[in-house]
Amino acid sequence: MPTNRVLAVAFSLLVAVVSGFPTSVASAAPLQICTAQTLQGFPISGTVCGGTTYGFQCSAGVIYRCSSGPRFQQNNCRLSQVCNVGCITRPSSATSTSDACFSGAAPLTLSTNNTLGGTDLGLTVTLAAAHPSGAFTNMKIDRGDLVPGSYCGVPNLLAGQTSVSFALPTAVVSSPTQVNLFVDLAYADSSGVNRQLVPVASTLTLNPGGTEPPAPEILNVTLSPSTIAPGGVSIMDVELAKFAPARGIPVTVTSSNPSVAAVIANGQPFVLGGCVYGGGAEQIQAAHSVPSQTTVTISASSGAPGQAPVQTPLTVTAGCAPKSCLEVRGGTVHGGPCGSIPDGCGGTLMCGCDFGETCGGGGVAGQCGLAQSVGVSALSLSPSSVTGGSSSTGTVSLNMAAPSGGVGVFL
């Protein structure tokens, strides 16, 4: 396979249970037929390790015998060997592989395979093979809503580091629910050959009766920048003392002086389940006109029991920022004032109209609108009842005066 194949790993699902913990053994039969192809859609031939970048449509941790064929061919692989621990890639060509079962230490172990929803799950990733440049730990979880954090709470292995342990939150459930997990360890060995090591999936059973842990405390809040001009915005980033529970944590932000610096509606930070950091969007906007430099206290709260809101100062410099035409219209793209409009700082704006509208086109001076088109508003016949052979006079009424040159009306 190309040397970049270990950098992108897609999702694969295999239902499994753990037998003789911590070794994982598949409890459900793996897929008998699946598709393995390059990122360009060319079928892979040879033995393929399921769950890898090119074998993500196949069951994780087992070997398939695949054949070549036309581009985008489907179902070119058949189950060849069920591995006890998992499988590993070996040096290969661009479209042919010779992957094999792996017999070393289990790449992924769970602290438990049966627990109450709402408790933290401990995980350990192990890679004994040399990986001088480190290894990517691509965690794959089929129920990310119940065990979140695979993209923010899973650490990579450093060079020389043979194992790393971490925890992820679990969600409270109303009935026993299974969650399937596996990891794709992507690394370059001591010879510079890119490899992927994929174990068979482990199954975690979440049971009802658990409770969600309390919201973590806020460890740190930053505003970037911490000094803004009138009309300017500041971005908030929040760091929690511990990863957020499965549902995620909304952070409530308030301002001590909303007339100078107001919280942007629907822009407050949210820390996803299993993550520590949140924010990164515009949270605070200064007023367009500030008579003198003012320091405003911005407060953030995660709802953690016993923790007072974390406060940080924001300085707004004096001055006036002229409003834009969109701001004058209240953010609307249709309708609204047009022509010469006060900019809020003693000047004026000359605002036009968009989307085919014209100033006064809707019949209201100083407002954007679409010009009304000529149409038939009424049709009458006089008389409306005649004897055969007689005539009747028809009258057509328009909704507005006909343009120069007239307008045709078709009966």
The predicted structure's pLDDT at residue 377: 81
Position 381 in a domain: no
Could you tell me if 206 and 293 lie in one domain? no
- Name residue 243's amino acid: F
**Residue at 396 is within a domain:** no
Indicate whether 199 and 54 sit together in one domain.
yes
Please state whether 120 falls in left (phi above 0), alpha (psi between -120 and 50) or beta: beta
Indicate whether 335 and 304 sit together in one domain.
Answer: no
223 and 97 together in one domain: no
Asked if the peptide bond before residue 383 counts as cis, ω within 30 degrees of 0, the response is yes
Q: What is the pTM of this model?
A: 0.73
Do residue 255 and residue 195 come from a single domain?
A: no
In this prediction, the residues of the chain whose per-residue pLDDT falls under 50 are 1-27
CB 144 within 8 A of CB 234: no
Are 145 and 192 part of one and the same domain? yes
- The reply to whether 88 and 165 lie within a common domain is yes
Count the domains in the chain.
Answer: 3
Report residue 363 as tokens: 């019949």
| Per-residue pLDDT, 156 | 97
Say whether both 272 and 176 belong to one domain.
Answer: no
Which tens digits make up the pLDDT trace of 211-259?
999 999 999 999 999 999 999 999 999 999 999 999 999 999 999 999 9
pLDDT in tens, 364-387: 888 888 877 777 888 888 888 888
One-letter-per-residue 3-state SS of the chain: CCHHHHCCCCCCCCCCEECCCCCEECCCCCCCEECCECCCCCECEEEEECCCCCCCCCCCCCEEEECCCCCCCCCCEEEEECCCCEEECCCCCCCEEECEEECCCCCEEECCCEEECCCCEEEEEECCCCCCCCEEEEEEECCCCCCCCCCCCCCCECCCCCEEEEEECCCCCCCCEEEEEEEEEEEECCCCCEEEEEECCEEEEEECCCCCCCCCCEEEEEEECCEECCCCEEEEEEEECCCCCCCCEECEEEECCCCCEEECCCCCCEECCCCCEEEEEEEEEECCEECCCEEEEEEEECCCCCCCCEEEEEEECCEECCCCHHHHCCCCCCCCECEEEECCCCCEEEECCCCCCEECCCCCCCEEECCCCCCEEEEEEECCCCCCCCCCEEEEEECCCCCCCCCCCCC
Specify if 395 maps to a domain.
Answer: no
Give me the domain span that covers residue 242: 218-320
Tokens encoding 361: 């086109």
- The answer to whether residue 387 is domain-embedded is no
Whether residue 284 lies inside any domain: the answer is yes
Final residue before a domain boundary, out of 189, 212, 235 = 212
- Indicate whether 10 and 100 sit together in one domain: yes
pLDDT of residue 27: 45
Q: Are residues 223 and 152 in the same domain?
A: no
Flag whether 392 is in a domain: no
pLDDT of 28 reads 61
Residue 108 lies in a domain: yes
Same domain, residue pair 189 and 332: no
Q: What is the CATH number of the domain that holds 310?
A: 2.60.40.10
pLDDT computed for residue 302 by the predictor: 96
20 shares its domain with 67:
yes
Tens of pLDDT along 209-218? 999 999 999 9
Task: With respect to residue 279, please indicate whether it lies within any of the assigned structural domains.
Answer: yes
